[in-house]
Chains A and B, each alone.
Chain A
Amino acid sequence: MEAKEFDEFYSASFRRVTGQVYAMIGDFDEATECVQEAFARAWAHRRKLDNAEYPEAWVRTTAYRIAVSRWRRRKRGERSPDRAVSSSGITAAVDESHVALVAALKQLPEAQRQALVLHHIADLPVQQVAAEVGVPEGTIKARLSRGRAALATLLADETGLAGGGMTHA
Chain B
Amino acid sequence: MPDQDPIDKLSRFGAGFSSGTGGDMPLSAADVRRRGDQIRRRRTALVAGASALAVAAVAVPIFAVVGGNPKAGENDKVADDPQGALSTNDLLRDDDTEYFPNEKSAFRTVDTYEGDGQATFHPCQQATLASLGATTSFTRTFEYVVQLEAGDTAPPDAAGDGLVETVAEFEDDDDARAAYDTFAGWILDCESRLGDFERVNVVPQARAVALPAGAGDAKIYDLNWGPVEKSVDPYGDASYINETGLVLRGDRIAVVGLTIVGQDYNFLEEDGGTPVNRMVPVAADRLRPGGDTPAQPSETLTEPASTVDPAIADDFPLSAGWPADDGSDVTAEGPNRTLPPLLLNVCDADVEDAPAPQDRLVATWSQPEDYRTRQLSTYASEDQAAAALGAVVSAYRDCPEEPSSPEGYVAHHVAIQSAAGDESWVVGTYSTFDGADAIGIEVIHLIRIGTALLVITGSNEGSAPEPESTFLAAGDQMANEASNVVSELCAFTEPGC
Contacts and interface: CB of A to CB of B under 8 A. Distances in A.
Interface of A: 3, 6-7, 10-11, 14-16, 18-20, 22-23, 28, 32, 36-37, 39-46, 61-62, 65-66, 69, 72, 75-85, 87, 89-95, 97-98, 101, 107-109, 111-112, 116-117, 120-123, 134-136, 138-139, 142, 146, 148, 150-152, 155-156, 168-169
B9 interface: yes
A39 B1 CA distance: 39
A107 B340 CA distance: 10
B23 A109 contact: no
A88 B201 CA distance: 25
Contacts of B29: 6-7, 10-11
Nearest to A3: B33
15 contacts: A11-B29, A20-B14, A36-B27, A61-B268, A72-B352, A76-B205, A80-B264, A87-B26, A94-B23, A95-B16, A120-B14, A121-B10, A121-B11, A139-B358, A169-B341
Nearest to A121: B14
Interface string B185-210: 00000000000000101011100000
B235 to A, nearest CB: 10
A139 to B, nearest CB: 5
Given A87-B27, A101-B10, A155-B6, A19 B17 contact: yes
Contacts of A39: 32, 36
Given A94-B23, A109-B360, A112-B337, A18 B310 contact: no
A92 B238 contact: no
Contacts of A3: 33
A135 B306 CA distance: 11
Interface stretch (B38-46, B122-130, B211-219, B414-422): B38-46
Interface of B: 1, 4-7, 9-14, 16-18, 20-27, 29-30, 32-33, 35-40, 43, 199, 201, 203-205, 224, 226, 237-239, 241, 262-264, 266, 268-270, 309-311, 337-338, 340-343, 348-350, 352-353, 358-360, 380
Contacts of B16: 19, 95, 97-98
Nearest to B380: A134
A61 to B, nearest CB: 8
B13 A85 contact: no
A82 B264 contact: yes
Given A82-B264, A93-B22, A121 B226 contact: no
Contacts of B43: 44
A122 to B, nearest CB: 7
A84 to B, nearest CB: 5
Given A10-B32, A15-B21, 6 more contacts: A19-B16, A40-B39, A81-B262, A120-B7, A139-B358, A169-B341
A81 B264 contact: yes
Nearest to B342: A169
Given A15-B18, A69-B266, A28 B23 contact: yes
Contact of A120 (B11, B36, B264, B348): B11
Nearest to B354: A72
Given A76-B205, A109-B338, A120-B14, A135 B26 contact: no
A116 B9 CA distance: 11
A75 B266 CA distance: 16
Given A76-B203, A84-B264, A43 B33 contact: yes
Contact of B37 (A32, A44, A93): A44
A74 B199 CA distance: 16
Contacts of B348: 77
A18 B25 CA distance: 10
Given A15-B20, A120-B11, A44 B40 contact: yes
Nearest to A116: B10
A15 B39 CA distance: 23
Contact of A19 (B6, B22, B201, B343): B22
Contacts of A97: 12, 16
Contact of B349 (A14, A76, A123): A76
A37 to B, nearest CB: 8
Contacts of A45: 40
B323 to A, nearest CB: 27
A122 B36 CA distance: 25
A126 B339 CA distance: 26
B263 A32 contact: no
A93 B14 contact: no
Nearest to B264: A82
Contact of B25 (A15, A43, A142): A15
Given A81-B241, A134-B270, A98 B35 contact: no
A84 B22 contact: no
A168 B341 CA distance: 9
Contacts of A146: 337
B339 to A, nearest CB: 9
B183 to A, nearest CB: 21
A30 to B, nearest CB: 12
A79 B203 contact: no
Contacts of A108: 338
Given A98-B16, A139-B310, A84 B237 contact: yes
Contacts of A89: 26
A155 B38 CA distance: 44
A111 B359 contact: yes
A41 B239 CA distance: 19
A20 B17 contact: yes
Contacts of A90: 26
A32 B203 contact: no
A87 B349 CA distance: 29
Contacts of A43: 32-33, 35-37
B14 A19 contact: yes
B70 to A, nearest CB: 42
Contact of A32 (B9, B21, B23): B23
